């Protein structure tokens, strides 16, 4: 049975588009929250809500009972956890480590093994749901690690999400996230092409969405990102540069398993073109611009 988690100190590393909302839910739930991010200004909103700033990851790690990370890239994860001033070197024995960054399954397994040597409990728990899911505490959380650690942390994970599932041992959460990103990658192509088709056929694309979004074509991307495409809103709920990172990890993992993923390769090639044209900091829905630039008159 899970212990009472009421008084545990939450350390949160990474307060970007999603991390900020995720950390805020713990403050709202009455937990003491410590935060660290490379740019302190990104944490100002959380600090105004009652979070406490820490100058170094090591300082946060030494004081927190549960450390949650939501950073950018696998090399960031490696530095935060395995560096000399990182989490594993400075966390108290018995601390729970939860990496919610989308990262490499092999790195999640490595962190788990190193954490175990220091009497720490590690879970890889990447998420899906974007800025909306993070804001509304309705994220899907895909978890890899030990059953006992999962049972202990599940009440905290459910503060951020509504679909929290242990998928298997260390790295299983990251592998599941790769399945998620592979699905989204090809789906986004379909969403962009459907909107482009609707416009070319002289239809009102918003009205088209009212029909197809409620049928078999319905998906999170169609219902949440297609309206942004139509409105010309390319603000990031999830950055193109991070989608490219995720697709690169998925392609690498698929190659290691001998799996062909032509749809994923196509999607990545289109996003690579967008990044080369200066759209790396736009939201993934900006893929529609590729179609707009390549349409025949």
Catalytic residues: 177
- Whether residue 90 contacts residue 62, with contact meaning beta carbons closer than 8 Å, is answered with yes
10 Å Cβ neighbour count for 38?
Answer: 13
Name residue, tokens 């073109």. 273
Q: Both tokens of residue 239?
A: 């950055």
Distances (CA, A) of 268 to 38, 76, 175, 209, 264: 28, 22, 18, 25, 6
Spatial contact of 261 and 250, defined as CB atoms under 8 Å apart: yes
Residues 6+ apart with CB under 8 A from 255: none
- Report CA 201 to chain centroid distance, whole Å: 36
- Spatial CA neighbour of 11 closest among 55, 44, 49, 52: 52
Residue reference for tokens 């297609």: 226
**In terms of Cα–Cα distance, which of 147, 187, 189, 175 is closest to 249?**
175
Cβ-based neighbours of 259, under 8 Å, separated by 6 or more: none
Which residue matches tokens 């490696």?
Answer: 78
Strand residue runs (E) in 81-180: 96-99, 121-124, 127-128, 139-144, 161-168
Hey, how many other C-beta atoms are within 10 angstroms of the C-beta on 4? Answer: 7
Alpha carbon 131 to its chain's center: 9
């Amino acid at each position: 049975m899970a212990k009472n988690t009421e008084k545990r100190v939450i350390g949160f590393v990474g307060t970007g588009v999603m991390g900020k909302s995720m950390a805020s839910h713990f403050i709202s739930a009455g937990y003491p929250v410590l935060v660290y991010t490379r740019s302190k200004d990104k944490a100002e909103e959380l600090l105004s809500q009652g979070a406490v700033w820490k100058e170094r990851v090591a300082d946060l790690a030494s004081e927190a009972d549960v450390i949650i990370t939501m950073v950018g890239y696998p090399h960031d994860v490696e530095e935060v956890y395995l560096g000399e001033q990182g989490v594993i070197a400075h966390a108290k024995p018995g601390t729970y480590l939860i990496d919610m960054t989308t990262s490499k399954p092999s790195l999640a397994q490595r962190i788990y093994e190193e954490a175990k040597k220091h009497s720490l409990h590690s879970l890889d728990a990447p998420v899906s749901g974007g800025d909306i899911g993070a804001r509304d505490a309705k994220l899907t959380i895909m978890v890899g690690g030990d059953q006992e650690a999962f049972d202990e942390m599940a009440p905290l994970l459910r503060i951020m999400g509504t679909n929290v599932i242990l998928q298997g041992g260390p790295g299983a959460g990251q592998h599941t996230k790769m399945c998620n990103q592979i699905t989204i990658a090809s789906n986004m192509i379909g969403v962009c092409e459907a909107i482009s088709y609707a416009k070319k056929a002289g239809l009102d694309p918003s009205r088209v969405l009212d029909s197809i979004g409620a049928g078999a074509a319905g998906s999170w991307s169609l219902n949440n990102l297609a309206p942004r495409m139509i409105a010309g809103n390319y603000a990031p709920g999830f950055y193109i540069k991070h989608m490219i990172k995720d697709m690169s990890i998925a392609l690498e993992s698929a190659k290691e398993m001998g799996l062909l993923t032509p749809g994923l390769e196509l999607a990545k090639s289109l996003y690579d073109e967008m990044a080369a044209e200066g759209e790396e900091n736009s939201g993934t829905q900006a893929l529609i611009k590729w179609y707009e630039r390549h349409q025949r008159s």
